[in-house]
Structures are given as structure tokens and as C-alpha cells.
Amino acid sequence: MSYTVSFFLIDIEKLRSVIGGKDLSIVDKIDVDEENRSYLEALLLGSESGQDDDSSEYGYALEKIVEHLFGESEAVPEFEDLRYGEFDNPPLDWILQSGSPVKLPPIEDFPYVGHRTIAEMRNALDSWDDEKYDDFEPEIQEMIEGMFSVFQTAIEKKKDLITFYY
């Protein structure tokens, strides 16, 4: 089975104003089936869905909201078709260890949601020493370079980063 990571550049304050903001007007603008609509509504209302909750659906609903608000994810080919365990290497695991930037019920399965601020990404770039690349296989080095490229783009655009790993 292969995995992927989606990287979205976001305005965190805008996202936080929408999640729990009680405005359901965007639900009809998001392509989602009726069963998953309740998870979108729950996030927007700041409540539980009322269904037998599948906690992972909150993560997918958050991704739909993020995509609606901020557009498509950044293309990072190095993060497509991954094998499980490739994130056991720092700093790759760092993007997933941060958790969601908004309140979600605990997600017991995929997607794993990560969030990094502009300051955190800048610090990561500033503290990374090129000699550290020697410790990794070429494939992991390419992934680090792809991730750092997204960090640089986010910093230039003054955006935070949210990731979805599934």
C-alpha cells in the first residue's frame, strides 16, 4: 500500500475563524457525499457530527474545507506513493508530529494532520546543516529538499503549512 502527503499553504487565522464559526454557507460549495456532510457541518459548527463517529472523517472533512478555502495542495512529487515508515527519518517526521491547527476529535487512523507556522519552518531551514544529508539515502534527501522547497514557498507567501498524510 502506498501513502501520500498533501501540503497546503494556509492563512491560519482564516481557517480558525471558519472552524467552529457556525457559518454553514460553504457546505454546499464543497463536493462531499451526504454521509460525510455531517462531519463538515460538525467542524463548522464546532460540535460532534451526531453519527457513530468515525474520527478519521473529521480529518478528511478538514482537508475538504482547507482545499475549498485555500485551493489545491502544493505539488511535491517526492511525497507521493510513499512506503509506510519513510517518515521515521527526521526532519520528515517533524511535519507530522505537530497535530492539527484546529480542534479535532482524536483521529485513530488516517489522515494524520500536521501544522507548522512560518516561524517554525524558518527555524527548521535555518538550523539544517547540509552535512546532515550525508546520513540519509538519496530518496530521503530528495524528500527533504522537496519539503524545504515548500517551506521556502510558504515563508515567501507568508503562509502557514497544514499537511494531511494518508
pLDDT in tens, 41-83: 888 988 765 555 677 888 888 999 999 999 998 888 877 777 6
Number of domains in the chain: 1
- Please state whether beta strands 112-116 and 5-10 pair in parallel, antiparallel, or not at all (unpaired): unpaired
Domain of 144, in residue numbers: 5-165
Residue 9: its pLDDT value, please? 96
What's this model's pTM, rounded to 2 decimal places?
0.85
Question: 99 — alpha (psi -120 to 50), left (phi > 0) or beta?
Answer: left
Mean pLDDT of 114-132: 85
Q: What distance in Å separates the CA atoms of residue 104 and residue 99, rounded to the nearest whole number?
A: 9
Can you tell me the mean pLDDT for 120-147?
A: 80
